[in-house]
A and B are shown apart, each in its own frame.
Chain A
Amino acid sequence: MAILVNASTRIICQGITGRQGSFHCERAIASGTNIVGGVRKGKGGSRHLGVPVFDSVDEAVEVTQANASVIFVPPANAADAIIEAVDAGLELVVCVTERIPVLDMVRVRHRLNTSSTLLVGPNSPGIAVPGVSTLGIMPQGIFLPGRIGIVSRASTLTYEAVDQTTRNGLGQSTCVGVGADPVVGASVVQCLEKFMRDEQTEGIILIGEVGGTSEERAAEYLSSLTHRKPVVAYIAGQTVPEGRRMGHAGTIIHYGTGTAESKIGALGEAGVAVVSSPIDIGQAMADRLPSRQNTYA
């Protein structure tokens, strides 16, 4: 099994008729993703990419029994699109949109507090379950069904980890990009928890980057486990020198966290194998797993 998505997940796309939405949904459908409909206000009743288009998420859910959505709506309207999906009671919402105003996401997070919807993103490459489903913009052709769960804050570096674990035969159970914005839905820790419970996942790769506290929280969570799967991490931004700063608040809000040094230190103390170069991720994972046939491939 994978996490978050499986073959029976019924997916709609908000913004399916747009250029990005069309491009990625077409590829997802062609590779077997269960996209059952799309939403675009004003285009309800039409069909696009072979699936029905609805004016609202409510209508789409009523007709298609969708339980997940992937959002390709421009930044100005993306927060409303997420809230519409939450209001419609979807279990999973993946938001690809970049450059959503941060105060809009503050509003979204407030709405999520009183719902059971899990939001992945925004500014996320999405979720890929190799051989089953692609929600978002992750590329085709680099995945291999397999043993490793990947959770990432950085989109293109995710593909590096995927590529390496495909080449060395380990393969992936599920690959999740939690999104690179300061305020996102699902946290790295939530993904780690799901991977720890997932039977197919034998090892976990965590791709982090400087800023925020996700990696420090991940280290706290991993330290709290008595028995756990091996975790390999890479943190981008290790030598990025400090650029221009505005005042002190950004530094003192989470004093002593947020730097690559703090993240690498915390993860290392939690027993995570932190590699210093992204080219070592795949090998470091292989070194920490018993060698055996990848039966999922």
Chain B
Amino acid sequence: MYLFEYQAKELMRQAGISVLPGAVATTESRAVAAAGELGAGPWAVKAQVLAGGRAQGFFSNDRHLPGVVFAETSLEVGSVAQSMLGSVLITPQTTSEGEMVNAVYIEPAIAVPQEVFLAMLVDGESGQIVCLLSKKGGQNVEQSVGIDPDSLIRSNLGSGEMLTTEASLEIAKKLELSPSATEGLSVVLKKLHRLFIEKDLSLIEINPLGIRQNDALIALDARLTVDDNALFRQSKMAALGSRSASSSAEQIALREGFNYVPLDGNVGTFSSGAGLAMATVDAVANCGARPANFLDVPPVLEVSRVKQAFLLLFSNQKINCLIVNVFGAGIMRCDTIADGLLLAHLEAPVGIPIVMRLAGTNSELAISRLEKSGLPIQFVENLEAGAGKIVDIEGQNGNTSTHPSWAKNAWLRIRNLI
């Protein structure tokens, strides 16, 4: 679960990490007042979205406005806030559809002599919390580290017990800062590590962590991600999330336990099992069509949850056809899928063509039930045939004329297969 910058900074403040004073505003007048309360300018006005790369981003209705703007006067703060609020910000880290800005965060704009990169996350390979540090902090950290991998300092933080002062000092020393900044970094590392464990986080990223003239450290930006699987024991974090889940579809998916990722296209996909769901998205994209989503419905016994999954897809107005790819195995049976679809149809009549590949447990039973229903379903033997059908449908809709860059060349490949 992602948190907004202002939520992340509040948690850091509570954890004793130094951050700038700041205020959230959801209206122009509040933004102007907040600037005044924060003292004399200049100020930074920062769009609150659940993605990074805001400074390199732009708004869909104003391509020259980035997601972080420096303002000299409080009136300017207001006008920037007004432009941002209710508009859609697109950054290198959002999808191409961007994200609606419902709040801005206003801080005094300060310049610091040095900026470093700091992150903590769980490394799957070592099975430990890992700390990443780099002197090349700032927007271009990915490129800088790509060019100079040695500039990234990686330290294992152990397995969940609190860091000792000695251990955190050892890690801080690796960044080769001045003695007092090193001391400060060591304290920050210890506090952040505690926050990571206490709040069940899966990511802390501070980029940049500013080092001021007097060697004091200050978190100038903050990204926190909470482990979704731990929300059952982190009720305060879960409450923050109810304000930050970005779309109602994602909220429904979270509640129902579906793995759902909205994508940019118009071909809905439905699968069970993350791998098969990915293979389904791959097949659609390889045909030059554009998947509208990734959906992995975990194996369930209850028809009602399958119904919810279909309703979730049907609620997306952009979807103009749907591919269902299920291998019935274990507790996931094909007839459960069929019944779920039929129940969904009773609540929201199916108005789009559906291509289905059902295999495994009770697939024949499922197909015979659906055939009797009269729904506009085409059954196919395998995924590639299904993707081909989607291409036919999409072709009729005139939707395959432009291929997204990530699908280029794939068209020919799939054409040879089907």
Contact = CB atoms under 8 A, between A and B. Distances in A.
Given A104-B230, A160-B276, A240-B278, 7 more contacts: A20-B331, A75-B229, A98-B298, A106-B160, A159-B360, A243-B95, A276-B413
Contacts of A100: 229
Nearest to A154: B275
B76 interface: no
Interface of B: 2, 50-53, 93-95, 99, 117, 119-125, 127-130, 132, 141-142, 145-146, 149, 152, 154, 158-160, 197, 200, 202-203, 205, 207, 223, 225, 227-230, 232-233, 257, 261-264, 271-276, 278-279, 281-283, 285-286, 294, 298-299, 327-332, 359-361, 382-384, 404, 406-407, 410, 413, 417
- Main secondary structure, interface of B, reads mixed
Contacts of B417: 277
Contacts, number: 219
Interface string A256-297: 100000000000000000001111000000000000000000
Given A125-B330, A241-B264, A277 B383 contact: yes
Contacts of A50: none
Contact of B128 (A99, A106, A236): A106
Contacts of B207: 247-248
A183 B122 contact: yes
Contact of A101 (B230, B275, B294): B230
B145 A252 contact: yes
A79 B36 CA distance: 51
Contacts of A104: 230
A230 interface: no
A243 B124 contact: no
A102 B202 contact: yes
B159 A110 contact: yes
Given A110-B159, A236-B279, A250-B121, A138 B51 contact: no
Contacts of A105: 127
Nearest to A209: B275
B282 A239 contact: yes
B51 A244 contact: yes
Interface of A: 20, 23-24, 75-76, 98-107, 109-110, 125, 137-139, 141-142, 152-160, 163, 180, 182-184, 207, 209-210, 212-213, 217, 234, 236-241, 243-256, 276-279
Contact of A163 (B120, B130, B327): B327
Contacts of B264: 241
A117 B275 CA distance: 27
Q: Which 7 A-B pairs have the closest CB atoms?
A: A154-B275, A156-B273, A109-B127, A110-B159, A249-B119, A139-B329, A239-B285
A246 B205 contact: yes
A143 to B, nearest CB: 11
A246 to B, nearest CB: 5
B275 A247 contact: no
B330 A252 contact: no
Contacts of A252: 132, 141-142, 145-146, 152
Contact of B122 (A23, A155, A182, A184): A182
B276 A157 contact: yes
12 contacts: A103-B160, A103-B197, A109-B128, A110-B159, A212-B125, A239-B286, A240-B282, A248-B117, A249-B121, A252-B152, A253-B121, A276-B413
